[in-house]
A and B are shown apart, each in its own frame.
Chain A
Amino acid sequence: MKPRTKIVWKKIFLQILALLFIAFMLLPIYQMVITALRPADLPWESPSSLFPKKVTLSNFAKAFELVPRFPRYLLNSFIYGIGVSFISLIIAIPSGYALARYRFLLKKPLMIFVIYANMFAPIMLLVPIFVIMDGLGLVDSYMGVILAGSVFTIPLSTWLTVSYMQGIPKEIEEAGFVDGCNSFNIIPRVVIPLMKPALVAIFIYSFITGWSQQFILALVLVKDDKLMPIAQGLYQFFSRSSVRWNELMAAILLSTLVPIFLFLVVQKYIVRGLTSGSIK
């Protein structure tokens, strides 16, 4: 009997640990949810109650009222997400294929540069990117933000395609060549279908980056409210006057549903894509 009870205790212990850890990871989300569901006309409670006594869905509707461009911000974030993932894919696919399959002069330095470029973050290139976009007339434009955002997703995306390609046996392409493909249309016909998990990973990663992690880029490149992404658009309503927290939390909750949903649906692919190849 003893080893069995030992195992049962072990299971209980681990379960508690896991619950505590997840609680820590989801704590602010819980706070957001109970604030969003709390009727806005109730005075604030201090200390706040841990479980909502009254719930309402009115804050969600009110959020749209208070932030009239809310749907627009959502759309903008979506556009940035799609734009950045589109560009990342367009660049990563041919480059990944070339770097994985061919030997050529620039290969080594380019590979190193791909890994190196991965280390850059928007804050470092903020001013010159602004100057360049300004010179191209792309400040306050969708294209400008998409291009600037892609700068930071292209390296990792390329790296992913290269790693993934390296893990795929060459026989399949060789069969394609035998079938009559040339060096170029082999890509859409054979390579892309083969790379699906990596492509999904790239799509999700760059979409989420384009959708949400663009805070500082949007801060500098986008001043016109019509083009504001979600994070920026909502942050604006934080300043100058007292914040309607309940409605703001409702708005934030709504806006995070999209990436969370996407994430949960495809997280299998992300893990697979990220961990195949040379990272191990």
Chain B
Amino acid sequence: MKKFVVLMLVAFLFVGLAFSEETLRVLLPIGGGYTIEDQEAIGNEYEEANPGVNVEMEFVGWSNLWNKIITSIGSGSAPDVMYIGSRWIPALADLGAIIPLDEYISQEKRDMYYDSVWDTVSYSGKTYGVVRAMSTKAFIYNKEMFAENNLDIHKNWTELKTAAKVIDNSGSDVYGIGLAGQRFVSTVTQFQQYLYANGGNIVNKEGEAIINNENGVQALDFYVELSEYSQPGISEWKREDLIKLFESGKIGMFIDHIHNAKAAEEKGIDVGIFPIPTGPMGDKPYSTVIVTDCISISSQSKNKELAKDFMNFMTSFEKQKKWDLTLGFVPPMVEEKELPEFQTEFWKPYVEAIQYGVPEAVNIKDWEGVQQAVIDALQKVILGQSTPQEAMDTAAYLINLLQGN
């Protein structure tokens, strides 16, 4: 009993303290390159420029970010500014948890970014976030291995498969390509590369599942075919671990972020990059999945003006440029792309791919659920439990259920 009373008193004390100055609560992720110091530095800078404002940053690991967001919304204590994965926008917008930002974004700001970037944060015709981090992917390959086997960069799937086969057969200890298959979010993105490259998608503009059309089934079929020339047991591997295989010279190529290309180079591999080749049913020279994270403002915020100001502060040209260069993220702003830092041999394919990129999750209302459905399909076919068509049909059925169709 006593403890309870003490608790209540302490709680009141804290609440009282919080009202002494304007506080802005910002939720940010850590891990995978996002450091606390870098982000707090931004907060401190803002506080200096705006005396009387207290920026309170809360940090959560990426794997807990979704949980934290939904539970704090549910308990009415959502932060003012939230860093979210753009894939979560439909779910959050539908709930009214985040507010449309169209009136806070000037035309000038709009023009600073690519159109396809704004696509990733739009839902039902409104904009719900300002993009903070963007990634595209490309193939990272071992130049030495390719040269040894007289292989060139491939422009289509036939060449891709042949190259994987040749490298795979070149030695008992070497595998052609690195593929992911573990039940993890990054595996879905890995598969999506092939899906999009083949002109397919998970849902169409109306939100209906089309993953089981010809494009999708062919993509899944190809992915599983490729796994014959990949490291064994792909269900054990996440995309994040493939780099180890590459660094130890066990695979000839794999799809990943640019910073892993650099990491491999440091370990002594002769690294090269090429854009993801288009599939037989694709209509662009090459493609990539565009994944973005963005800054959003929660509807529960009592300081919306302040939040908008901070949001713009965080995403100014200078800050964005510094952020992207430090973390190795693809620049979402048009002007950034022209900077010499992004024109190196490594950066070029990643940056060029933006124009042909397709956003990861548009019109998908329950990304977590859809993810599970896609992974199920992938794993089922890999395990030989169903044919690609069957697996995709089930996935489409589930996705339609999740979309409320």
A contact residues vs B (CB 8 Å cutoff): 41, 43-46, 68-69, 130, 134, 136-139, 143, 219-220, 223-226, 228, 232-233, 235-243, 245
Contact = CB atoms under 8 A, between A and B. Distances in A.
B32 A225 contact: no
Task: Determine the main DSSP class of B at the interface with A.
Answer: helix
A139 B68 CA distance: 11
9 tightest CB-CB pairs across the interface, nearest first? A236-B61, A241-B32, A240-B32, A223-B68, A225-B59, A44-B248, A239-B63, A240-B62, A242-B243
Given A240-B240, A242-B260, A225 B60 contact: yes
Contacts of A134: 71, 75
Interface in B231-279: 240-241, 243-245, 247-250, 257, 259-260, 263, 266-268
B7 interface: yes
B31 interface: yes
Task: Determine the main DSSP class of A at the interface with B.
Answer: loop
Contacts of B247: 43-44
B7 A235 contact: no
Contact of A43 (B7, B37, B63, B267): B267
Contact of A68 (B7, B36, B260): B36
Contact of B240 (A41, A226, A242): A242
B169 interface: no
Contacts of A44: 244-245, 247-248
Contacts of A68: 35-37
Contact of A41 (B7, B62, B267): B267
A69 B61 CA distance: 12
B62 A138 contact: no
B72 interface: yes
Given A46-B248, A223-B67, A236-B64, 14 more contacts: A46-B173, A69-B36, A137-B7, A137-B11, A143-B7, A219-B64, A223-B68, A224-B59, A224-B60, A225-B58, A225-B59, A236-B61, A236-B62, A241-B257
B229 to A, nearest CB: 17
Contacts of B62: 236, 239-240
B30 interface: yes
B36 to A, nearest CB: 6
B404 interface: no
A140 to B, nearest CB: 8
A214 to B, nearest CB: 14
Given A223-B60, A223-B64, A139 B75 contact: yes
B16 interface: no
Nearest to A42: B267
A143 B249 CA distance: 49
Interface in B52-70: 58-64, 67-68
A41 B248 CA distance: 11
A115 to B, nearest CB: 26
B260 A236 contact: no
A228 B248 CA distance: 34
Contact of B241 (A69, A136, A225, A243): A243
A68 to B, nearest CB: 6
B210 to A, nearest CB: 29
Interface string B1-45: 000100100010000000000000000011111011100000000
Nearest to B264: A43
B7 A241 contact: no
Nearest to B29: A240
A116 to B, nearest CB: 25
A238 B267 CA distance: 21
A149 to B, nearest CB: 15
B15 to A, nearest CB: 9
Nearest to B6: A143
A223 B31 contact: no
Contacts of A45: 248
B71 A225 contact: no
B263 A242 contact: yes
Given A43-B249, A136-B7, A240-B240, A235 B36 contact: no
A103 B31 CA distance: 56
B58 A241 contact: no
A280 B63 CA distance: 44
A219 B243 CA distance: 28
Contacts of B64: 219, 223, 232, 236
Interface string B66-104: 011001100100000000000000000000000000000
B59 A241 contact: no
A226 B59 CA distance: 8
Contact of B67 (A220, A236, A242, A245): A220
Nearest to B327: A241
A151 to B, nearest CB: 15
B63 A235 contact: yes
Nearest to A147: B3
A130 B72 CA distance: 11
Q: Quick one: which of A68, A220, A236, A245 has the most chain B CB within 10 A? A: A236
A235 B63 CA distance: 9
A223 B32 contact: no
A224 B77 CA distance: 13
Nearest to A238: B63
B240 A241 contact: yes
B264 to A, nearest CB: 9
A134 to B, nearest CB: 5
A44 B269 CA distance: 12
B248 A241 contact: no
Given A43-B249, A237-B61, A139 B71 contact: yes
Contact of A236 (B7, B33, B63, B240): B63
Contacts of B249: 43
Contact of B30 (A41, A138, A236, A238): A236
A43 B266 CA distance: 10
Nearest to A228: B61
25 contacts: A41-B266, A41-B267, A46-B173, A46-B250, A137-B11, A139-B71, A139-B75, A143-B7, A223-B58, A223-B60, A223-B64, A225-B60, A226-B59, A232-B61, A233-B61, A235-B61, A236-B30, A236-B31, A236-B61, A236-B62, A239-B31, A239-B61, A239-B63, A240-B63, A245-B244
